[in-house]
Amino acid sequence: MSLVGKKFPNFSVNAMNEMGDTFKVNVFEEATKNNKKILLFWYPKDFTFVCPTEIHSFQEALSKFEDKNTMVIGASCDTPEVHFAWLNTPKDDGGIEGVTYPLLADTNRNLANALGILDISNERYDEETGLLMVDGDNVTYRATYLIDEEGKIFHESVNDMPLGRNVNEYLRLVDAYTHVQQKGEVCPANWEEGKAAMMATREGVASYLSN
């Protein structure tokens, strides 16, 4: 079930940064108390292959997000200690050294469960034990959330494990949502900052399509 239009879950999760500090992050409060948009992206596991390409790409775009009053947060179900080890592994060795935004360590999977993004395709009921078993790793898909200054989710997307994200698309979505907030106009297909938007009326659509 889509969470777009709903408030982001309001509870704290352990996190790690590049300095080795373990602390709590409440995504909802980061948005509402600091009057910021949040981009939260989940990846399956540390020390893997597609994941570092995404993590470095978000780092490269970090200043662009910050210029748009948007905080970037990464997340997986790995422990803070594993995060820190990966943060101290050089890029040439498959690490994410140089990444400065926080990484959530949702080891108890409370937040991932609340969002419904865990891969449950490998769950099965074991008749002998009467238990629900998981074959393989109980990790998240590549889920992404954009959250506004009131803690409301205005975008969500979920990719399967092999499919990396397009970071520029999230910059575009932040621009579009900000335009809607500031101008009261809606953003048509393929809209980018600086292009014409339109009013959400029949006349507005007709005028836009005729130009």
Read off the tokens for 27: 């995504």
Greatest Cα pair distance in the chain: 67
What's the rounded mean pLDDT across residues 61-87?
A: 98
**pLDDT of 32 above 80:** yes
DSSP string, 91-128: GGGT--TT--S-EEE-TT-HHHHHHT-B--TTEEEETT
pLDDT of residue 136: 61
φ/ψ (deg, to 5) at 110:
-65, -45
Domains of the chain, earliest start first: 13-165 (3.40.30.10), 166-211 (no CATH)
Which pair of tokens denotes residue 209?
């399509």
> Mean pLDDT over residues 22-41, rounded?
98
Evaluate whether 139 touches 77 at the Cβ level (below 8 Å): yes
- Say what the pLDDT of residue 129 is: 80
List active site positions: 51
pLDDT of residue 20: 93
* More confidently predicted of 169 and 137: 169
Q: What is the pLDDT of residue 120?
A: 74
pLDDT tens string 130-159: 776 666 678 999 999 999 999 999 999 999
Q: What is the mean pLDDT of residues 177-187?
A: 96
Question: Alpha-carbon distance 181 to 179, whole Å?
Answer: 5
Cβ 157 vs Cβ 3: under 8 Å = no
